[in-house]
A and B are shown apart, each in its own frame.
Chain A
Amino acid sequence: MRRGFLITVLLFSLSISLTASAEQIDSDTVREWLGRVTAAGKNLNYEGTFVYRHGNEMEAVKIIHKADDKGEHERMISLTGSAREIIRNNEVVTCILPDSKSVVVDNKTPGTQQLPSFPSELGQLDAYYDFSFEGYERVASREARRVVIKPQDRFRYGYRLWIDDAFELLLRSELLDPDGNAVEQIMFTDIKLYESLDSDLLKSNLSGREFTWVTDDETNHDKPMPVDPHWQVTNKPKGFMLAHHNMHKLPETNRPVEHLVYTDGLAWVSVYIEKIAKNSDSLQGATSMGAVNAYGRVMGEYHVTAVGEVPAMTVEILSSSVIHTK
């Protein structure tokens, strides 16, 4: 009896300490942590394997990452399905696809801008998300801090992140739908960090003999094209701001596409506006792939599609509220 009481007390105090371990943190702390995560992913030398699950599919990928005075070098090899490989030297990305027996080399034109950062006028993330630190957990036999980012409405996904406590690498991440179910998961199963790595590890063993090489020799495809400022999205969930407005040619059709990118700082949605052409099928209504949702509709002689890792409702709202103000 006495013992039973003791156990009850112990369990009770344990449950208190567990609850207490989920502490609120502010968005600045999280932003700083995410900044360090990004930097760690870039600046460290590591080799590991991660699993990637989206929808009903699961893949295992080996990653080797090297950082030196010449920049970032990375090699990813899929361990499941066909032996796809991606080799990246700074901005040059080479995809090797054994199924199609082809190698693609993509060369970023020098002098073009870096990958997008947060729009400067973006408000505090804590107007749309709640942040909490949930204590420590082991991932890939390393100690990790568990952080939960919970959206305050149903227009964006949440995140559960496990950050390596010593090296700040993201060891595991889950994208959560508004009901808290994981729609996409990435997790390292093992990871080793190194002072330095041999460059030979970054080279593909593929000789290229059996492969067709496709090199991006059209230097003009990054050439800026004029955008039409009259395209506007009039209805956006709270916090979504325009981060980019571009015009490019998608190689699929080689026709110009107006491209507007919206973000709240964590979630990103692209809106594509394309003139309807003959013999061209386009999405009408909603569809999804894993965590990604898309919504398409016809607007006069244009076709509008919104795509992004956000709930279905959000792409529908953005796509449906596109207007041309002229």
Chain B
Amino acid sequence: MTKQIDEKLSAFVDGELEAVEADRLISDILSNDELRSRWANYHSISHSLNGQSVNSEVDLSSSISAALANEPTVFAPQHKKRIFPAALKQAAGMAIAATVAAVAVLMVQPEEQNLFNPGAVAKAPTISSPIANQTVLPVGVNWSVAEPSVASKLNAYLVNHNGYSTPVRGAMPFAQIVSYGTKHSVKTDDSVVLEYNPNGSSVRR
């Protein structure tokens, strides 16, 4: 059973699953927790193999979710695949990424999420996306202190400190910030956020 599912996921990832089957698989992914996490793993594996940036997924998500609703055959096998393997591998990867995003968007109820509201500090909606939950790490996992509130304060100090120091980091001065982002970005209760300001204040909730 598991093996069969794995084969299907793998075929889907490679764009070799028939439309009807693909359609069924998508429904299964949407309704089954275990399958969703398996799918997310597949996604991240295929992703790293393709070596592409993840951001392409969100851009395509709305069009793909529309396509999902109206035209499931969008996932039909791509016969030209063998001719330009590299280019199409990339394209297939993008489509998969887009699909995952579409799944995430569907799970998150898009109508509540469309709060594109520049200039305002809006409250972040509670995240129910299975994909988002996959990558969540506990807050302050790295500081060797027990209380999350202490860790969070230390993070605030540290991000602020980074704005004032010029460590020998060459072209990568923001590397730490990207990395700390993992720890800060997890508080799903409010609109958290990591902000970098060379002048002073730093972590904002």
Q: How many A-B residue pairs have CB under 8 A?
A: 298
Could you tell me the distance between the alpha carbons of A233 and B3 in the complex, rounded to whole angstroms? 64
When the two chains form their complex, are residues A99 and B127 in contact, meaning their CB atoms are under 8 A apart?
Answer: yes
Q: Answer whether residue B121 sits at the interface, using C-beta atoms and an 8 A cutoff.
A: yes
Known interface pairs A100-B186, A101-B132, A212-B124. Does A88 touch B174 (Cβ–Cβ under 8 Å)? yes
Contacting residues of chain B (171-197) with chain A, CB-CB under 8 angstroms: 171-179, 181-182, 184-188, 191-197
Q: Answer whether residue B110 sits at the interface, using C-beta atoms and an 8 A cutoff.
A: yes
Closest to A288 in B: B144
When the two chains form their complex, are residues A212 and B125 in contact, meaning their CB atoms are under 8 A apart?
Answer: yes
Q: Which of B51, B168, B202 contacts A250 (CB 8 A)?
A: B202
Closest to A309 in B: B167
When the two chains form their complex, are residues B199 and A112 in contact, meaning their CB atoms are under 8 A apart?
Answer: yes
If over half of B's interface residues share one DSSP class (helix, strand or loop), that class is named, otherwise mixed; here it is loop
Known interface pairs A46-B171, A205-B56. Does A115 touch B198 (Cβ–Cβ under 8 Å)? yes
When the two chains form their complex, are residues A76 and B136 in contact, meaning their CB atoms are under 8 A apart?
Answer: no
Could you tell me the distance between the alpha carbons of A198 and B170 in the complex, rounded to whole angstroms? 23
Known interface pairs A82-B182, A209-B116, A268-B166. Does A283 touch B145 (Cβ–Cβ under 8 Å)? yes
B-chain residues with CB within 8 Å of residue A50 when the two chains form the complex? 172, 175
When the two chains form their complex, are residues A215 and B192 in contact, meaning their CB atoms are under 8 A apart?
Answer: no
Binds B, one of A9-17, A18-26, A130-138, A241-249: A241-249
When the two chains form their complex, are residues A281 and B150 in contact, meaning their CB atoms are under 8 A apart?
Answer: yes
Contacting residues of chain A (206-230) with chain B, CB-CB under 8 angstroms: 206-217, 221-222
Q: Chain B nearest CB: distance from A251 CB in Å?
A: 4
A-B contact pairs, 30 of them (CB 8 A): A52-B178, A59-B178, A62-B53, A78-B178, A81-B135, A84-B182, A84-B185, A93-B195, A93-B197, A95-B177, A97-B193, A99-B136, A102-B185, A115-B198, A159-B168, A173-B169, A186-B172, A207-B58, A210-B61, A210-B108, A213-B116, A221-B200, A249-B201, A266-B168, A270-B165, A272-B157, A282-B150, A287-B154, A307-B157, A307-B161
For the complex of A and B, 7 pairs with smallest distance between CB atoms: A170-B170, A268-B165, A83-B54, A41-B171, A97-B185, A248-B200, A270-B161
Q: Known contacts A117-B166, A222-B197; can you find 8 more A-B pairs with CB under 8 A? A: A63-B172, A78-B181, A95-B194, A101-B113, A102-B193, A116-B164, A210-B61, A210-B113
